[in-house]
Every structure is written in C-alpha cells, then in structure tokens.
Structure 1
Amino acid sequence: MMNSIPATYDTTTPLGKCFRALDLILIWAVILIFVFMVGIVSAQVVMRYGFNVSIDWAEESGRLAFVWVVFLAIPLAASQGAHIGINLFVDKFSPANQRIVQRASAALCAALSFAIAWSCIELCKDQWDEQMATIDISVAYFFVAVGLGMLCTGLHMARIAITGEIHQQTGDAE
C-alpha cells in the first residue's frame, strides 16, 4: 500500500512530509469507506433478493459512502496530474511555456477548489439541521465530503502551481 503514495515527495522537508501524510490518510479513508460501501450494498442485495428483507439505511449510507469515496479520491489523482486535460494546443508550445501554462492552470484549479470548499462550508451551515430519511445524521455530510475533497485538491494544486512538480507514479498511462 505504501507504494501507491508518490515516492517523489521530498520527505526531508516538513511540507513533503505533510503531503505524504495527507495522501496516506486519504488512501486509507478511501479504502475503508469503499469496503464499507461495497459491503453494505452487497448485503442489501443479498437480503433483498435472497431473504425478501431490506436494510432500511443501506441505500442512503451507500450513496453517502460513494460521495465520500469520490471526493476523497480526487485529490489523490490531482496530486499526480491525473485530471482531465486537453494538450493539443499546449503541446505546440516550448517546454518552458508548457510549464508556465501548467502552473497557471494549477493555480486556477487551486483557486476554484478553494472556492468550492468555501461554498461547502456555507451549504453545511444551511443544511446542518436537515436530517437524512433513514439515518439519523445531517444531509450536510454530503457537503462535508465535497468540501474536504476540494480543500485537499486545492492544496495539491497550489503545491503544483508553486513548485511546478507533478508527482506521477511509474506505470502511469502517459
């Protein structure tokens, strides 16, 4: 599992150690939540079709887990430059200009990610009192997942904008 964390972080610096720790936390959170999601959805299918009984909270908790998995995995992809990009035009630039465009787009992505995270805080304030139908927790936990994911994505994109380094793993598709 440790091999899935980009090894190119400079772990001699406090910032490199922080990003490596952040990625490790995100990886384990995604794994644990994914296992829960698959487990509860599978149990729901077996119970419904095998025993004609339903787990009331399975659908809602599975949906919530799915949102958490997706938004906690986004920063892991962003840290490696695995987000969608169209390079047809940028590939015509010199390598120096390509790095400038890469850093500028990373800065823009960081700003947008931080704006989304801030919006999620406001949405959580508005939605905190509203409860889910079958689970006795707030619907704002959907926005908490989005906000945390976008905050972590913004941090990774800001790092890329400042350092210009994308930590691609060996064996990437590119």
Structure 2
Amino acid sequence: MKPRAPWLEAHASSSIQRRFLVMMLAIDRTSYYLVILTMGLMTLLVAAQVFARYILGTSIDSADELSRLFFVWTIFLAIPHGIKIGIHVGIDALAGLLPVNAQKQLARLMALASALVMAALFWLSLGAIGDKWQQLMPTIPVTAAVFYIAVLISAGHSLLHLIAQIWQVEPLPSAPAASREGETS
C-alpha cells in the first residue's frame, strides 16, 4: 500500500510527529499567505495614501492606522517562519566551540527555554486582548485588541515550531512547491 504523504516519511519517525507536521504545514501555509496578503494590503494602502495626498490633495483618514496594523500583522505572522529555520539574531561564538552533539543538546535546551517564553507571551497576550477589547481605534470602529491578537497568534505559532525543534523534527517548507516549469521553489 502506498502512503498518502510519502514526503512526510523522511521527516518524522512517529505517527504523532507526522500528524504534528501536517498540522504545522497547514498553519505555516495559512500564515505564509496571510503575510503576503497583509504586506500587499499595506503596500497598496500606503501607495493610495501617497497618491491621494500628493496628486488629489486629500487624505485617507485611516491610512496611517491601517498601514500600521498591516505592518504589525505582517511582522508578527512572519516571526514564526524565521524561528522555524533558525533565522534570528544569535551569538554562537561559545556554542561553536562545543562538540556537535553538545551543540544539538544546547539547541534543544534553548528551544525549550524559548518555548517557555512563548507560552508565557501567549498567556499574557490573552490578558492584553481582554484589557484592550473595549477600546476602539481612533479612525476605524475596530477594537484596539486586534494588535494583540497578532502577538497571540505569533506566540502560539512560534511555540509550535519550538516544540518541533525540541523533538528534532525537520520542518516542512512553508511556501508551496513550484508547479510549472521554469519556476523555482
């Protein structure tokens, strides 16, 4: 019998880890497309604001607030993708001197410590959302808690990637593979 997803076999040794990877793939792809959407909306809004201000001599009232909101969402949605592949600021001068096995164990320990921080951030952002829920943004009738929702999502998504690092499970690519000839992945 042929496995439904043979590309997962090389990435996880247990069925729990395979299911975890499939779940993470769905979350990563959703987040990937949301980053593209929020960045695109931010770019279009800023371009429209510049056009309105300098060509039409008017202004879009909510452009500053919405572009800031899209920027915050873009950044916080993108953070877990960096955590997933280890793109973050780090100084590894001391760790680089250790044997390879010790480096792996130290990486797992740091992933565990970071996971604890993300779990705390997730919990604290729930409280911040509750505190800000009644407050509306000045130019649009949307709760100010929407900024903290991005933090909540980022912390939860990052926590899942850190758990994968603790398990030493290789992540799957967030971006979909190229489907046509001539495209790169």
> TM-score by structure 1 length?
0.87
1:77 paired to 2:82: yes
Q: Which AA in structure 2 matches 1:110? A: A
2:165 is matched with: 160
Aligned letter for 2:30? Answer: I
| Distance in structure 1 (CA, Å) of the matches to 2:103 and 2:85 | 17
Unaligned runs of 5+ in 1: 1-7, 170-174
Q: For 2:128, give the aligned amino acid.
A: L
Q: Does 1:140 align with 2:173?
A: no
Q: Distance in 2 between matches of 1:50 and 1:128?
A: 37
The one-character-per-residue Cα deviations of 1:142-171 (angstroms, maximum 9, x if unpaired) are 0000110111001101110122646799xx
Following the alignment from structure 1 to structure 2, what is the Cα–Cα distance between the partners of residues 100 and 168?
24
Matching residue of 2:49? 44
Calculate the TM-score normalised by the size of structure 2: 0.82
% same residue: 30
What corresponds to 1:149 in structure 2?
154
Contact map agreement 1:9 1:19 (CA 8 A) in 2: no
List per-residue Cα deviations over 1:79-138 (Å, max 9, x = no partner).
111122111000010011000100000111111111111101001111100000001001
- Counterpart contact for 2:25–2:172, Cα < 8 Å: no
Equivalent AA in structure 2 for residue 150 of structure 1? A
Alpha carbons 2:11, 2:170 under 8 Å: kept: no
Aligned length: 162
Structure 2: gaps spanning 5 or more residues: 1-9, 175-185
CA distance in 2, matches of 1:168, 1:37: 25
Matched, 1:59 2:69: no
